[in-house]
Amino acid sequence: MLACRSAQARILSLPEVSEHTAEQRLQDAARLIHAGRLDDAEKICLAALKTNVTDEDAIYWSAIIALERKQFSDAARLLQYAIHENTNRPEFHAQLGRCFVALKRSQDALAAADAAMELSPSNPMTLDTVGVIYSYTRFHERAAQAFQRAVEGDPNNCSYWYNLGASLQFAGLFDEAENAYQKAIAINKNLDKAIAALSHMRHQTPESNHIAMLGERLNGYDGKLPDEMRLQFALAKEYDDTAQYKEAFSTISAVSNRWRKKIAYSIDQDAKVFQSLQERFNPASVKDTHPGHDSNEPLFVVGMPRTGTTLTERIISSHSAVYSAGELNSIGLLVSAAANVKADSVLTPEAVDRALGSDLNTFGERYIELTRPATGHTPHFVDKTPLNFLCVGFILLALPNSKVICVRRNPMDACLSNFRQLFALNSRYYAYSYDILDCGRYYLMFDRLIRHWDELFPDRILQINYEDIVEKQEKSSRELIGFCGLDWEDQCLDFEKNDAPVATASSAQVRQPVYRTALARWKNYTEQLEPLAALLREGGIDLA
């Protein structure tokens, strides 16, 4: 009710605007919004609201304008007011969920999506919006159902087909996903994200691949650099699949160098984070912290990205007592909130001090709350967020009964895999990956930090090698399950039968039994990786 009153007060304070006819005004506003003419659309909505402050459609379109302006809190308040006036409009709930996604309020977003679906929406755009919310909250089966209904309602919308393909891919339904991507491309032959996605549906062969199609699309390419990067990385993946390793490496190097210059990244930016963590987390500061939350539910799998963390998570979550919660990102958000910095800000020594001095019991309790309602129905859940290796100190202080497993991989393979993977372009946390030597420098900092955590929290972290999991699957799997305090179950050896969705770059690999083709893959690039090997050796890494 408070949100409704706030929104009503805001509307009543709006200035007078010349009226539009009731029949035309909101149709015109919608068209103007789609045309990007937000100021003109707002004038129409203001006129309608000045005439009738409870006009739910005018409130709704005002909220959409706020959404387009990225004024997410204002948009949420307006939508809550609209829902207060009429609870039976599924699009109101769907767009409110969209606001909550932007505000990183996952539980509220999920509740809004569920509320929309309970009203049996038929509008394809509403269904697509709900599907996106379900994907964000990691309910990929629900997402696929919503997207399926969206394409049934509007089979000529390429974006709906792409979203359906992505959700099917996460669910491990690769043939169905490929079909959805192909339908998207049939509607829009220049839908680059769908073209790029085809490369990841299967291992390409010299006889069957998309190299020619990708080359044709990239010839004289005049699109945006992020879209080109998706295509270039897809092409490099197909070159690698077909043993054209020089072409694969040069393709990634060229486009990544362009992106690295655009974002003006320096490895020093990440070095500050590592340094502040190692300086501020010391025996004295750890001793002075207050006791954390006593939950033993979380099992954290951390490590450099692309080093076997998903495989490790699948083995553990195949146990009947464990739920796969995916990559939650909640720890990083809580650290940033405790430090009173933006989520993507560098953790300076001062910020780490503030977070360390916060109420860690509340920190741990809040973390558990943020995992709900997805978790809580099994004794344990796995949070597989690789970059949580930065936050191991916070984890073990705020949740002292949790378990932390750090996955290690051959340093050369780890660096190469990071270099070959196109991570989220809008995240500064992966900026190191656009240069192979920066990957090496980042690995050296990672190695030092993990050693620091291990010394500071002895016997609290299990370090396990990806190569051992592959070569000694049962022994390593038993070690993992035992460390988690669980009784052995044979189904943990059949992780590929685990039907939990996988929303990571490993979605295809973990649907197969353990395979050895990823071991020592760096040797295919020996010549290109000579500078990396020299850098790692100089940093004290044994490459024997």
Tell me whether residue 109 is in a domain: no
Q: Which runs of E-coded beta strand occur in 309-412?
A: 322-324, 380-383, 403-408
**Which of these, 99, 112, 47, 34, lies nearest to 73 by C-alpha position?**
99
Q: Do 215 and 299 fall into the same domain?
A: no
pLDDT score for 345: 63
pLDDT score for 517: 77
Contact criterion met (CB below 8 Å) for 134 and 150: no
Tell me whether residue 500 is in a domain: yes
Report the alpha-carbon angle 163-307-476, nearest 5.
Answer: 115
Contact criterion met (CB below 8 Å) for 535 and 437: yes
> 33: number of CA atoms within 13 Å, CB side?
21
Residue the block writes with tokens 């300076």: 348
Tell me whether residue 374 is in a domain: yes
Residue the block writes with tokens 């995240």: 427
Domain boundary among the residues 264, 280, 315 is at 264
- Residue 462's Cβ-count burial label (10 Å; 0-12, 13-18, 19+) is middle
Tell me whether residue 111 is in a domain: no
Contact criterion met (CB below 8 Å) for 466 and 308: yes
Report the alpha-carbon angle 239-240-242, nearest 5.
Answer: 65
pLDDT score for 512: 56
Tell me whether residue 507 is in a domain: yes
Residue 97 neighbours by CB distance under 10 Å: 29
CA 178: distance to chain centroid?
21
Q: Do 333 and 203 fall into the same domain?
A: no
**Which of these, 271, 426, 450, lies nearest to 344 by C-alpha position?**
426
Q: Do 297 and 337 fall into the same domain?
A: yes
Q: Do 293 and 250 fall into the same domain?
A: no
Q: Do 468 and 328 fall into the same domain?
A: yes
Q: Do 430 and 468 fall into the same domain?
A: yes
pLDDT score for 502: 54
Q: Is 26 left (phi over 0), alpha (psi -120 to 50) or beta?
A: alpha
C-alpha torsion angle, residues 120, 122, 128, 133 (rounded to 10): -20
SS3 at position 526: coil
Q: Do 244 and 311 fall into the same domain?
A: no
Tell me whether residue 327 is in a domain: yes
Question: Which domain range does residue 407 map to?
Answer: 268-538
Q: Do 351 and 246 fall into the same domain?
A: no
AA identity, residue 111:
A
pLDDT score for 1: 38
Q: How far is residue 262's CA from residue 276's CA, in Å, rounded to a whole number? A: 27
Total domains in the chain come to 2
Tokens at 161, concatenated: 């087909």
pTM: 0.87
Per-residue pLDDT of the chain (544 residues; tens, 9 = 90+): 344 444 444 444 444 444 445 557 788 999 999 999 999 999 999 999 988 889 999 999 999 999 999 999 999 999 999 999 899 999 999 999 999 999 989 899 999 999 999 999 999 999 999 999 999 988 999 999 999 999 999 999 999 999 999 999 998 899 999 999 999 999 999 999 999 999 999 999 999 999 999 999 999 999 999 999 999 999 999 999 999 999 999 999 999 999 999 999 999 999 998 999 999 999 998 988 888 999 999 999 999 999 999 999 999 999 999 999 999 989 988 988 888 877 666 677 778 888 888 999 999 999 999 998 889 999 999 999 999 999 999 999 999 999 999 999 999 999 999 999 999 998 889 999 999 999 999 999 999 999 999 999 999 999 999 999 999 999 999 999 999 999 999 999 987 776 655 555 544 554 455 667 788 899 999 999 999 999 999 999 999 7
Domain boundary among the residues 264, 284, 313 is at 264
**CATH for 445:** 3.40.50.300
Tell me whether residue 130 is in a domain: no
CA quadruple 419, 421, 425, 431: dihedral sign: negative
Tell me whether residue 199 is in a domain: yes
Contact criterion met (CB below 8 Å) for 403 and 381: no
Q: Do 304 and 224 fall into the same domain?
A: no
Q: Do 396 and 521 fall into the same domain?
A: yes
Domain boundary among the residues 239, 264, 289 is at 264
Q: Do 333 and 249 fall into the same domain?
A: no
Q: Do 327 and 473 fall into the same domain?
A: yes
